[in-house]
Structure 1
């Protein structure tokens, strides 16, 4: 399964690439260049973005998305979708602990961000942004996805760049976060359709469609 291979690749990249000689220094040079060219308006925008896609706020937005989507796809499917999205976010936290990559040294940045003692890989904010986008895409019809996909890609890219711009993450952290979130969501979505998981969902009455709900367009 491609999504499973993607998850393994993200884990291996986090464990093997940062320790390579000179890799982190090269990434830090990107952070340092951006930090030396901060603009007040961009600083404010990056700060707002950081608040909107922070894990607590991001999960709240996921709940709102699924509540709204329940009117189209049914309550049961919306609950399962929320569970998949939430599990993907939780997996990102586990990945952080497994890789335990330190964040960029703020003492080496011209415009240092507030101290954050959590691990750097993958970026939690980029993970949240990507999960929000793929969840929204799962709730939309095929015609709507035609314009929603490029918009979603732009939104994720903006969040990713903002985290590196602020000096809170290395470039690899945000790229890995987007790949992880997309693959994790796809992997769990496929897993939810397997017979063992469907039996579990049936026990809690989440596998039987609501009367009014049909297959997503």
Structure 2
């Protein structure tokens, strides 16, 4: 357990560096002009947005099975643990969102530019919020269509970030389960993907830095426990001996 915790703690600290640095600078989000950078960020965030997030989850499960090669019993247990960890994280995120009820950055921007009171916005049902965002942004040509569409779908609360929880949980699971010099490149790519998802949530106007940091800490707790359970019950070796 100590070795697993050490791996996931180091990886979580790396994930926290970016949002912590942004938080220290006092950076405030404003809409950016459309370009390849914004398109790239949107593509990265879509790897977690449903239904693409399900595909991402299945692909990453397949990667873990391919690298660890557990027996049939271990495969069933491992997939159950991985899926339950992701689902538990999303459930915990939803519960916290409903209690904290923090507005998203783009919603506060709409309040300033379109005179949509935040308190009134969140009293509406989700379909009504979506319709209101669509109506108010119909003439906003500086906001690209793909971003307007994303805002229409994501009208919930901000704290904590569900996209970050998904990406960070998976990055930490991979680090905890596949830590080895032979897997260094793959783990580096997984960490870079998670950081990319986190950055996209900031720059698309969906979250504040603290949303990302708290989501990462929650992911660390879940992933560390999940990796220990996988090692304990899925028949995985304690030392890295995989081919």
The TM-score with structure 2 as length reference comes to 0.59
Partner of 1:58: 53
**Structure-2 residue corresponding to 1:165:** 203
How many residue pairs get matched?
Answer: 178
1:101 partner SS: coil
Shift of 1:157: 2.1
Distance 1:81 1:131 in 2: 9
Aligned positions of 1:107-122 closer than 5 A = 107=110, 108=112, 111=143, 113=148, 114-115=151-152, 116-122=154-160
Question: What's the RMSD between the two structures over aligned residues?
Answer: 3.5
Residue matched to 2:35 = 40
The 1-side partners of 2:28 and 2:96 are apart by 24
Change (3 A) 1:125 1:76: same
Matched, 1:106 2:109: yes
Unaligned runs of 5+ in 2: 10-22, 114-141
Match of residue 154, structure 1, among 153, 167, 192: 192
Alignment of 1:170-189 (within 5 A): 170-189=208-227
Alpha-carbon distance change, 59 to 77 in structure 1, aligned in 2, over 3 angstroms? same
Q: Where in structure 1 do 4 or more consecutive aligned residues deviate above 3 Å?
A: 108-113, 144-153, 187-190, 213-216
TM-score by length of 1: 0.65
**TM-aligned CA deviation for residue 73 of structure 1:** 3.0
5+ residue gaps, structure 1, are 7-23, 199-206
